[in-house]
Amino acid sequence: MNNISVMIHEIWLETLMAAFMSNEQSSKQKLFDFSDIFFRHFSWVENALIKANCEYDYNRNTIPIKVESLKVIIGDIIRRLNALELSLVNCEDNALASRIGSDIKYIIFALSSMQDETVYAFNINRVLDGVELSDEATDALTMFLFEESYKEYELIMIYNYLKAHSKEQNLIRIFQILIDESLYHLKQFGQMMSDMGILGVPRIIPKELYQVESVVEFLENGINEELNAREECRKLSLAVANENAPLAKFFDLINNQENYHIELMKEALAEYTKEINE
């Protein structure tokens, strides 16, 4: 099951990266939909590991994605899916294995019929939506996207781990909202990176970041990090405001969403503090 979890983790990320690369809207949407399915698979397998009292972490292998045509990465995803299907024979949860296996068969069929495209996600043009920003604004945007795409991936995995190990329904609700919001941010930032020709896979997360000894301390630090992220969004919005108004408004949107994340984390912190005091 640990091996299956790692395989799905890698397939999810690679499919998400492929979605960023595609410029054909129908293919892009299918790849995003499939990546969402794989993330659900990942969560279900994690739940099975917890039920079986198995130790696990979110470690994975590096995922090479630098390709010149979409069919190359699609072919690699299909290869990984075929290997995953073979590994499902070792899954003790027959219902789960059957569901994942059924999804795999359809997704392989859909991927096999997907049109090829030339990939421009690695050309380092650093131009977004055809609007050339100043060198200073471009550098600020580039650094922000690299840092924040990793941060959102990190938060997805941390919140997913905390959600999987929580029994309090309100905490599960809060963590699911934070997961969904971070997935949205990761998709937005990843697409911008692809459009600018600087797409990259987020680096592997050390297990110490999600296997936290003190959730209270994590949430307290997380609130401060969200405050810092909000400030970075504000700075970036100001940096591009005079050059690209729609982009500035987008970062204002992200900034305002961070405000709600902070309130949710405060609510979760209150729940955990209450549990400790009781």
pLDDT at 152: 94
Structure confidence at residue 203 as a pLDDT band (50, 70, 90): very high
Angle ∠(147,148,151) on CA atoms, nearest 5: 95
SS3 118: strand
Q: Report, as an integer, the average pLDDT of 128-141.
A: 85
Q: Phi and psi dihedrals of 240, rounded to 5? A: -105, 0
Mean pLDDT of the chain: 92
The answer on pLDDT for 208 being more than 70 is yes
Q: Which of 163-177, 208-222, 263-277 has the lowest mean pLDDT?
A: 263-277
The answer on pLDDT for 145 being more than 90 is yes
Task: Check: pTM over 0.85? Answer yes or no.
Answer: yes
The answer on pLDDT for 94 being more than 80 is yes
Sorted by sequence, the CB contacts under 8 Å of residue 275 that are 6+ apart come out as 168
Distance from first CA to last CA of the chain, Å, rounded? 36
The answer on pLDDT for 86 being more than 90 is yes
- Residue type for 212, please? V
Q: Which tops the pLDDT comparison, 275 or 251?
A: 251
The answer on pLDDT for 69 being more than 70 is yes
Structure confidence at residue 275 as a pLDDT band (50, 70, 90): low
The answer on pLDDT for 131 being more than 80 is no
* Region label for 113, one of left (φ > 0), alpha (ψ between -120 and 50) or beta (otherwise): alpha
Structure confidence at residue 277 as a pLDDT band (50, 70, 90): low
Q: How do residues 100-129 score in pLDDT, each as one tens digit?
A: 999 999 999 999 999 999 999 999 999 988
Structure confidence at residue 85 as a pLDDT band (50, 70, 90): very high
